[in-house]
Amino acid sequence: MTAGLSSRKKIVGTIKSDRIPAEAQNQYRKATLLLDQGKTEDALQGFQQALDIAPNYTEALHETGYCLQNLGRHDEARKYYTQALKEIGDRLCEIGRYEESLGRYWVAISRYEEASKYYQPECMPEPVMNDDYEKIKRKIKKTDIDSE
């Protein structure tokens, strides 16, 4: 598998987007059923139709990559996997910014760290990546150790 993804493993976990149109979600569900029936090429078309409607639909990006991988189209699969990973990282950074704006720096830091597992952005959001970052991180670890 490309980019360290195991076959058909859900890569999104707790990150779900409410912004995916119902039509794209319906196409995704139909394609998933086709894939479960072993109809990879038909499923591929369905996932691509979902992406035509919602180009940043992470699950559809991943499943498109999975279908292409199974069809031996590895270079094409890599492009879809890479885009799916970027979407996950972008969402985690966005959630981190929201947490940071609420003053929940410890949660924001963990979101940024989690995002870095999926991709390496050119620059992380400025407020967290300053001299206070390591101090806050040490304080959190110390608090965790003290509470045990």
Domain span at residue 128 reads 20-147
Q: Is pLDDT larger for residue 118 or for residue 5?
A: 118
Q: Is residue 7 part of a domain?
A: no
Torsion angle in degrees (nearest 10) through CA of 139, 143, 145, 147: 180
Q: Is residue 25 part of a domain?
A: yes
pLDDT at residue 33, rounded to an integer: 96
Q: Is residue 112 part of a domain?
A: yes
Q: Is residue 62 part of a domain?
A: yes
pLDDT tens-digit profile of 105-132? Answer: 888 888 888 877 776 544 444 444 455 6
How many domains does one find in the chain? Answer: 1
Q: Is residue 82 part of a domain?
A: yes
pLDDT at residue 45, rounded to an integer: 97
Average pLDDT of the residues in 123-148: 56
pLDDT interval class at 145 (50, 70, 90): low
CA–CA distance, 129 with 111 (Å, rounded to integer)? 13
Q: Is residue 9 part of a domain?
A: no
User: Which range is least confidently modeled, 64-73, 84-93, 139-148?
Assistant: 139-148
